[in-house]
């Protein structure tokens, strides 16, 4: 049975469910950022997915990229580059980050991990971002 790793809820908000993945909005107002977590128990690596589920994950990553771009537009900050990463060094459950980047963001051109302190969005901004993400993902 799939269970969400306890590291996710304190740092992100549930957006909803796609065919394969549970989707979360990273609670950091500095970046439009979604996390996809395949809803299959025990996954740690991409190789743990069946070939069909790996293909589905890639399609959902592309869909999440469009949603991240929509989030950036809604914030008045067009996304210049999508960063996609499945690190798992801290949280071992298989998950994929889809992060919208701009050449003027605080971590550019390096990775977002470990740079500065996350800035939680205001309640109204969070509600708006969740609505934009759900609409863009068709959830």
In the chain, how many domains are there? 1
Domain contains 2: no
* 4 found inside a domain: no
H or E element that contains 36 = strand 33-38
Mean pLDDT of 23-36: 98
DSSP designation for 122: P
Tell me whether residue 3 is in a domain: no
Evaluate whether residue 112 is within a structural domain. no
Average pLDDT, the chain: 97
Residue 1 lies in a domain: no
Residue 113 lies in a domain: no
Domain encompassing residue 82: 9-107+118-137
CATH number at residue 75: 3.30.428.10
**Does residue 81 lie within any of the structural domains?**
yes
pLDDT for 87 equals 93
* DSSP letter assigned to residue 120: P
**CA–CA separation, 35 and 82 (whole Å):** 13
At 18 the pLDDT is 98
pLDDT tens across 43-75, in order?
999 999 999 999 999 999 999 999 999 999 999
In a domain, 61, yes or no: yes
Q: How confident is the model at residue 22 (pLDDT cuts 50, 70, 90)?
A: very high
């Amino acid at each position: 049975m799939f269970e969400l790793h306890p590291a996710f809820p304190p740092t992100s908000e549930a957006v909803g469910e796609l065919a394969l993945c549970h989707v979360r909005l990273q609670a950091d107002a500095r970046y439009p950022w979604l996390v996809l977590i395949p809803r299959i128990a025990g996954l740690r690596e991409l190789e743990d997915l069946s070939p069909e589920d790996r293909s589905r994950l890639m399609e959902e990553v592309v869909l999440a990229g469009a949603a991240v771009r929509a989030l950036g537009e809604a914030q008045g900050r067009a996304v210049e580059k999508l960063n996609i990463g499945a690190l798992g060094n801290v949280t071992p459950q298989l998950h994929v980050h889809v992060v919208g980047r701009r050449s003027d963001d605080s971590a550019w051109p390096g990775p977002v991990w470990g740079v500065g302190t996350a800035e939680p969005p205001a309640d109204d901004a969070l509600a708006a971002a969740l609505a934009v993400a759900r609409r863009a993902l068709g959830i």
